[in-house]
Structure 1
Amino acid sequence: MKSASMVAPNLAVWPRTNSDQVRAQRLGETLALPVLRTEYTVDADIDMLLIVGEAGISLQRVAKAAPLPLKVDFGSGGMRHRRRGGQNELLGRAVGVGKRENLRVVDATAGLGRDSFVLADLGCTVVMAERHPVVATLLADGLDRARQAIDPWLSSVGARMTAHAGDARLLSPVTADTIYLDPMFPKRGKSAAVKADLALLQQLLVGSNGDDADALFEWAMDEAAARVVVKRPLRAQPLAGAAPSHQLRGKSIRFDVYVRRAFDTAHSV
């Protein structure tokens, strides 16, 4: 018998107010999830709520002492603080920032889009592919809010990002300069808030097809991108046992860089 932590959670869509009901109904139909009434009370059969409200779409675990709802907020204090992080330099160097103008990146495992946003902030044009439908919903909602933000910095960064709901391999043939992969899960976080976010995602992703990182890497290497970059735990083995051209190492993670050819600098996008 599987433990509760190994069973995929039951989800439902919940409109926070009556004015959110239409949006909630559409979302429920799209994701094939039940839609609750606004006056929802705790149901033992529901593990998580996909909450639709004026401030966006969020994911909330239904449990005592559950962490705050999880949503993609590219304008959050945490994301603004990350702009000044030293890891940004490693990530940018790994994908090839500065090698050509308007560097085009496909983030094939976008998740909550945090690395994608950093890359877009560094000037890249980024396509974010996320195949889990609920995570893809959170990602698209966060991107929409960023693009519509009054803050010119936030809206301009959002304008350089595109969300693709589905497997990145459906984007073939890829015309990007770099394909970026971050298949490691779970990640280590330094704060309780980060750990709570990742624990919630881990519960959500139970039972999903997330164990094919080697196959995804081999697909990326078969595409025409100038380089493939893989984010790995510092001591983890390279994906598919393939030695990278070089590595950029941080305190707890590294970037394995596979250089296929020189970047095409004859054109810009």
Structure 2
Amino acid sequence: MPSPQLAVVRTDADHIPYLEELALRLQLPLLTAGEVAQREELDFLLCLEGGHLALLQAGPKAPGPVLVDFGGGRMRQRRRGGQNELLGRAVGVGRREQLGVLDATAGLGRDSYVLADLGCKVLLCERHPVVAALLDSGIRQASVSEDTWLAATAARMSLEAADARTLAAARLSGIQVIYLDPMFPHRGKSAAVKKEMAVFQQLLGVPEDESDSEALLHWALAQPVARVVVKRPLKAAPLGGLNPSHAIRGKAVRFDVHVLAGLDSDVLHGGSGAAGVS
């Protein structure tokens, strides 16, 4: 399958330097709206929507934009949802004053934001450069918001546009928990797919199997952290056939928890202190 064709659209005169830097960083063409109309080969467009970087599928029947807006109604509604408690229990919120969490498969960052809202200090890793750019825009917008809740939560988040496995040990200092929410292979033709996931499947492709996710889990389990948490569909087998220490189940998903050491201990497996992950 050929790689999707993308372009950055020059839609906002006040942010031309940002769009120029983005196009250069992502090695994408920077086009005017008129130029876009003449490029039938384009699959996706990156543009600004209300100050947020947005990803749109090209074409007249394409769904609405995909963007990261932590202050939007969807996230505020989720803040009141019961799933937050399950996620918090899975990573061990409350066991340390400020838990350090690495979200190694950050995606659109919603679980990361929930964890930051629960008081965790979260390092987000996203290896796809376009998705990482959406995340970066969302975090930046939240951090300068006049909404004190939004800005304070964003201040507990930092982003690396990289595969988590390539991070230097110093960047992982202070991490007690690694959180994984890998893309699940699509099975069946009739299953309804949310807009964001449909766009991601077209942009990133659908994994044929879980070998890459399994390799990421093996890497995570080899790190000197207290626990590794894997988000799974409710009825799916454990990732890689590795049974967790325990699982926390919700209505649609579960969190498989691999306990490697006590969260309230400074001595983690394979290391002599909480600071420093090799």
What is the TM-score when the length of structure 2 is the normalising length?
A: 0.87
- Equivalent in 4, 9, 21 of residue 9 of structure 1: 4
- In the other structure, the counterpart of 2:176 is 177
Q: Is the 8 A contact 2:90 2:255 kept in 1?
A: yes
Deviates more, 1:169-178 or 1:237-246: 169-178
- Alignment of 1:60 with 2:60, yes or no, is no
For residues 199-218 of structure 1, the aligned pairs below 5 Å read 199-206=198-205, 212-218=212-218
Q: How does 1:1-269 map to 2 (within 5 A)?
A: 6-42=1-37, 43-52=39-48, 55-173=51-169, 174-175=172-173, 176-185=175-184, 195-206=194-205, 212-264=212-264
Change (3 A) 1:13 1:177: same
Amino acid at match of 1:223: Q
Task: Provide structure 2 residue ranges, at least 5 long, that are not aligned to the other structure.
Answer: 267-272
Q: Is the 8 A contact 2:227 2:257 kept in 1?
A: yes
Is contact 1:127-1:161 (8 Å) kept?
A: yes
Q: Any unmatched runs of 5+ in structure 1?
A: 1-5
Aligned residue type for 2:135: L
Worse-superposed segment, 29-38 or 160-169: 29-38
Q: Give the fraction of aligned pairs with identical amino acids, expressed as a percent.
A: 51
Secondary structure of the residue that 1:40 maps to in structure 2? helix
Q: 2: distance between equivalents of 1:80 and 1:15? A: 30
CA contact under 8 A between 2:11 and 2:48: conserved in structure 1?
Answer: yes
Question: Does the Cα contact within 8 Å between 1:7 and 1:206 map onto a contact in 2?
Answer: no
Instruction: Quote the Cα distance in structure 2 between the aligned partners of 1:59 and 1:252.
Output: 27
Secondary structure (helix, strand or coil) at the match of 1:131 reads coil
Partners of 1:121 and 1:268 lie apart in 2 by: 22
Contact 1:106/1:128, CA 8 A, preserved across alignment: yes
The TM-score with structure 1 as length reference comes to 0.89
Amino acid of the structure 2 residue aligned with 1:222? A
Quote the Cα distance in structure 2 between the aligned partners of 1:264 and 1:201.
37
Give the count of matched residue pairs: 260
Q: Secondary structure of 2:66's match?
A: coil
Q: Which amino acid aligns with 1:33?
A: L
Give the secondary structure class of the aligned counterpart of 2:35.
Answer: coil
The SS at the match of 2:178 is: strand
- Give the alignment's Cα RMSD to 1 decimal: 2.4
Deviates more, 1:125-134 or 1:9-18: 9-18
